[in-house]
């Protein structure tokens, strides 16, 4: 009520008085941004949205974190160990971590039971957690969630003493450590949670903090302000005092102008105005590329076509089961042309020849994509006119009398994404021109902007479709999930001619063998072999990795924690505000230096 009176006084004051624009803010290290995607909750145990992870990561810590090279570091756990088959993991906690309230008052010490309470909340179906899929890695987690077990003590987590927490898993999980980078494994103070009930995480007051920052202000659709937590166990590494997020529905449009006026410290620069920035001497030095993220984009060929008869699904089913036909599409798709629709300056930087992106995982400093089975694919371009035409002739000969040409290739796109629409049309013209309209007839179709996946991809209403996937933990198996038997992508298990003696397909057997292997080097090699098979047989056409393109920012991206999955990459800890934004040349220089240092750090980490 006081606030409302204040607002009223403000309104009257502005009509009656001349006001000055001076702000009386004391000079603190403050990072300011505008954003348009509002968070819906602070309850990190419920959410699966990236922008909510970004807030939670700065307010609450997990057991582990990563350094700027992606090497795992102690977080709330100071040390850990696992048994030989990676099914039991034990963590020793720090004893100097405090839970504090929104006003910085100490509430309780962090104890092992907090991790048990956190997982109990996530696995209780009535709490509607949307990261439960990750939490069910623990023994009996799925059974408890489904209600088959009601006694939580039977679930694979326990506090063996005040500062020791032990996880027992359903199956050997050598990458479990990386899964702890997800919010569903974060702690919560059980007493506070019980006291707040359904209100937990709805306001800054209904929340407890043990991370680098405390929420000083939380007004959805207006502003949120994070201030440094003075009781934080690692406060010397928190170098930004205040982080101010200002909501603006048109943030994408106004942010570049606000950045130029000095009202914000970071702004994405959309492709539509990137020319203007690069052609302006003053602006040019303030804009740089962003680091790619780990969303992988690929074109999936559908082995279970369920689209309308007018697009000849039966004919598609015949041709898609012919390797030469698939290979002709694989080599005909010009990925650079497609990428130019979103990245006119450095399209090659975003291309990916493999489903698993570069810099995701490594074996003793050797990147996964450079392991022997994948190296030839990684170091070449799938686009090859001669090979495309060669495979076209082979396919036509093999399918003569069996299939109808030109083959109708239904290629839907999400009508809510102009970039996707442009890309699809570019590819239609490019592929038809190269392979000939007598061979393929690419049919571009606008799909719904809402519910596209449930309307188009999941029911199989496509022949060729751009799809993507994001990783959930540090293991190549995370990128195999779209192609698993219960996957909802392109159903490669239905491809004809790949069944082996045990009734499973070659790809499934390769994956099963890899998953059953604990030794990292051997395991990754087997996954690389499976992925190489998937690509060589052209079940999918790897295309690109995600990334937002260009940014004007006063942050150095190479100071941030590096992690392709989970939430620690969202932390501001370790970062400081630069005096001036990084230029693109400086960015490229810093990237080369960082990659070199990272390779050394990864080698050292395995010693």
Partner 1 sequence: MLWYIGKRLLQSVFTLFIIITIVFSLLRLMPEEGYLGAAAEKMSPAQQEVYLTNLGLRDPLPVQLGDFYANLLHGDLGKSVTYRTDVPVVVIIADKIIYSLLFGLGAVALSLIIGVPLGILMAQMKGRWLDRLGTGYIVFVVAVPAAVYYLVIQMYVTEIFRLPMLFDEYQPITWILPLLSMALAPTASYAMWMRRYMVDELNKDYIKLARAKGVKERTLMFSHVLRNAFIPMAQYLPATILFTITGSIYIESLYSIPGMGGLLVDAIQRQDNTIVQGLVLVFSSLGIIGLILGDIAMALVDPRIKLGKGESVR
In the block, tokens 């994404």 appear at 417
d(CA 526, CA 513): 7
**Binder among 10, 171, 485, 521 for partner 1 (CB under 8 A):** 10
Q: Please report whether residue 17 would count as binding partner 1 according to CB under 8 A.
A: yes
> In the set 30, 40, 586, 591, which binds partner 1 (CB under 8 A)?
40
CB of 396 to partner 1, least distance (A): 37
- Give the x-and-dash track for 45-74 against partner 1 (CB under 8 A): -xxxxx------------------------
Return the range that interacts with partner 1 (CB under 8 A); candidates 15-23, 333-341, 508-516, 548-556: 15-23
Nearest to partner 1 of 212, 467 (CB atom):
467
Q: Where do we find the tokens 């048109």?
A: 250
Cα gap 412→465, rounded to integer Å: 6
Instruction: Report d(CA 62, CA 238) in Å as an integer.
Output: 16
Rounded CA-CA distance 398/421 in Å is 33
Q: Are 80 and 177 in contact (CB under 8 A)?
A: yes
Binding mask 186-225 for partner 1 (x = CB under 8 A): ------------xxxxx----------------xxxxx--
Helix runs in 130-213, H state only: 132-135, 141-146, 176-179, 190-196
185 part of the interface to partner 1, by CB under 8 A: no
Nearest residue (CB) to partner 1, 252 versus 366: 252
Inter-residue contact 509 to 502 (CB < 8 Å): yes
Within a 10 A sphere around the Cβ of 386, how many other Cβ atoms?
A: 8
3-class SS string, 17-66: CCCCCCCCCCCCCEEEEEECCCCCCCCCCCCCCHHHHHHHHHHCCCCEEE
What is the nearest approach in angstroms of partner 1 to the Cβ of residue 262?
11
| Span from 11-19, 311-319, 359-367, 524-532 in contact with partner 1 (CB under 8 A) | 11-19
Q: How far is the CB of 48 from partner 1 (least distance, A)?
A: 4
Position among 26, 84, 150, 261 found at the interface with partner 1 (CB under 8 A): 261
Q: Give, in order, the Cα–Cα distances in Å from 480 to each of 31, 88, 254, 540.
A: 38, 24, 39, 12
**Nearest distance from C-beta of residue 220 to partner 1, angstroms:** 6
250 lies in the binding site for partner 1 (CB under 8 A): yes
By CB under 8 A, is residue 8 in contact with partner 1?
A: yes
Q: CB of 25: closest distance to partner 1 in angstroms?
A: 11
Q: Quick one: tokens of 426?
A: 């570019």
**Are the beta carbons of 127 and 45 closer than 8 angstroms?**
yes
Helix-helix angle 323-332:385-399, to 10 degrees: 160
Size of the site for partner 1 (CB under 8 A): 61
Of 85 and 276, which CB lies nearer to partner 1 in the complex structure? 276
Distances (CA, A) of 317 to 245, 268, 300: 51, 43, 14
Q: Which residues contact 517 (CB under 8 A, 6 or more apart)?
A: 523, 526
Pairing of strands 540-545, 106-109: unpaired
Q: By CB under 8 A, what part of segment 438-497 binds partner 1?
A: 450-451, 453-455, 469, 472, 486
Distances (CA, A) of 267 to 12, 35, 97, 365, 411: 34, 9, 35, 33, 34
Site for partner 1 in 126-145 (CB under 8 A): 126, 128, 130-134, 136, 145
Closer to partner 1 by CB, 124 or 375: give it: 124
* Out of 29, 73, 83, 146, the residue judged to bind partner 1 by CB under 8 A: 146
CA distance 581 to 594: 18
> b/e per residue, 155-174, with b = 16+ CB within 10 A?
bbbbbeeebebbbbbeebbb
Q: How far is the CB of 594 from partner 1 (least distance, A)?
A: 29
Residue 593, burial from CB neighbour count under 10 angstroms (0-12, 13-18, 19+): exposed
Site map 393..432 versus partner 1, x via CB under 8 A: ----------------------------------------
| Contact stretch for partner 1 (CB under 8 A) within 121-129, 420-428, 512-520, 583-591 | 121-129
Q: How far is the CB of 363 from partner 1 (least distance, A)?
A: 27
Q: Residue 28, interface with partner 1 (CB under 8 A)?
A: no
Least gap, CB of 450 to partner 1 (angstroms): 7
Using CB under 8 A, list all residues that contact partner 1: 4, 7-8, 10-11, 13-14, 17, 19-21, 23, 34, 38, 40-41, 43, 46-50, 125-126, 128, 130-134, 136, 145-146, 198-202, 219-223, 246-250, 254, 257-258, 261, 263, 450-451, 453-455, 469, 472, 486
């Amino acid at each position: 009520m006081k606030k409302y009176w204040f607002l009223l006084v403000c309104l009257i004051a502005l009509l009656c008085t001349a006001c000055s624009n001076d702000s009386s803010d004391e000079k603190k290290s403050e990072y300011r941004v505008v954003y348009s995607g509002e968070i819906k909750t602070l309850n990190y145990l419920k959410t699966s949205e990236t922008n909510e992870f970004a807030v939670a990561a700065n307010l609450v810590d997990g057991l582990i974190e990563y350094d700027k090279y992606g090497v795992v570091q102690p977080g709330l756990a100071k040390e850990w160990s696992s048994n030989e088959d990676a099914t039991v993991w034990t963590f020793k906690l720090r004893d100097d971590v405090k839970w504090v309230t929104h006003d910085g008052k100490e509430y309780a010490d962090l104890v092992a039971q907090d991790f048990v309470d956190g997982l109990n909340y996530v696995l209780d179906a009535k709490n509607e957690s949307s990261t439960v899929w990750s939490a069910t890695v623990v023994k009996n987690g799925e059974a408890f969630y489904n209600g088959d077990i009601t006694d939580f003590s039977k679930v694979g987590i326990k506090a063996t003493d005040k500062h020791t927490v032990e996880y027992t898993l359903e199956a050997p999980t050598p990458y479990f450590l990386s899964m702890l980078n997800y919010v569903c494994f974060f702690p919560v103070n059980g007493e506070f949670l019980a006291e707040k009930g359904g209100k937990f995480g709805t306001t800054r007051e209904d929340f407890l903090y043990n991370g680098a920052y405390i929420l000083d202000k939380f007004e959805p659709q207006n502003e949120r302000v994070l201030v440094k937590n003075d009781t934080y166990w690692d406060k010397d590494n928190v170098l930004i005092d205040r982080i101010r997020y200002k909501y603006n529905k048109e943030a994408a449009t106004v942010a570049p102008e606000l950045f130029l006026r000095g009202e914000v410290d970071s702004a994405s620069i959309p492709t539509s105005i990137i020319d203007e920035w690069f052609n302006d001497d003053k602006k040019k030095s303030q804009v740089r590329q962003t680091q790619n993220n780990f969303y992988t984009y690929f074109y999936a060929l559908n082995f279970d076509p369920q689209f309308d008869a007018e697009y000849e699904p039966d004919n598609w089913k015949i041709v898609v089961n012919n390797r030469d036909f698939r290979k002709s599409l694989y080599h005909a798709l010009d990925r650079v042309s497609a990428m130019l629709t979103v990245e006119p300056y450095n399209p090659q930087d975003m291309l990916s020849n493999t489903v698993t992106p570069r810099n995701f995982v490594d074996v003793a400093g050797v990147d996964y994509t450079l392991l022997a089975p994948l190296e030839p694919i990684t170091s070449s371009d799938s686009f090859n006119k001669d090979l495309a035409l060669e495979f076209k002739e082979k396919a036509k000969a093999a399918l003569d009398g069996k299939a109808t040409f030109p083959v109708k290739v239904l290629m839907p796109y999400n009508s809510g994404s102009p970039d996707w629409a442009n890309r699809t049309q570019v590819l239609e013209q490019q592929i038809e021109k190269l392979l000939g309209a007598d061979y393929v007839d690419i049919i571009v179709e606008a799909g719904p902007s809402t519910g596209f996946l449930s309307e188009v991809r999941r029911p199989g209403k496509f022949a060729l479709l751009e799809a993507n996937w994001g990783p959930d933990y540090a293991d190549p198996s995370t990128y195999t999930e779209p192609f698993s038997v219960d996957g909802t992508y392109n159903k490669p298990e239905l491809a004809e001619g790949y069944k082996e003696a045990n009734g499973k397909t070659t790809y499934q057997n390769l994956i099963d063998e890899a998953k059953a292997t604990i030794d990292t080097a051997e395991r990754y090699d087997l996954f690389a072999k499976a992925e190489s098979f998937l690509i060589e047989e052209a079940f999918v056409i790897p295309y690109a990795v995600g990334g937002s393109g260009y940014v004007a920012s006063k942050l150095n991206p190479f100071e941030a924690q590096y992690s392709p999955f989970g939430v620690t990459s969202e932390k501001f800890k370790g970062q400081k505000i630069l005096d001036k934004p990084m230029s693109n040349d400086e960015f490229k220089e810093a990237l080369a230096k960082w990659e070199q240092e990272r390779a050394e750090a990864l080698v050292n980490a395995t010693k």
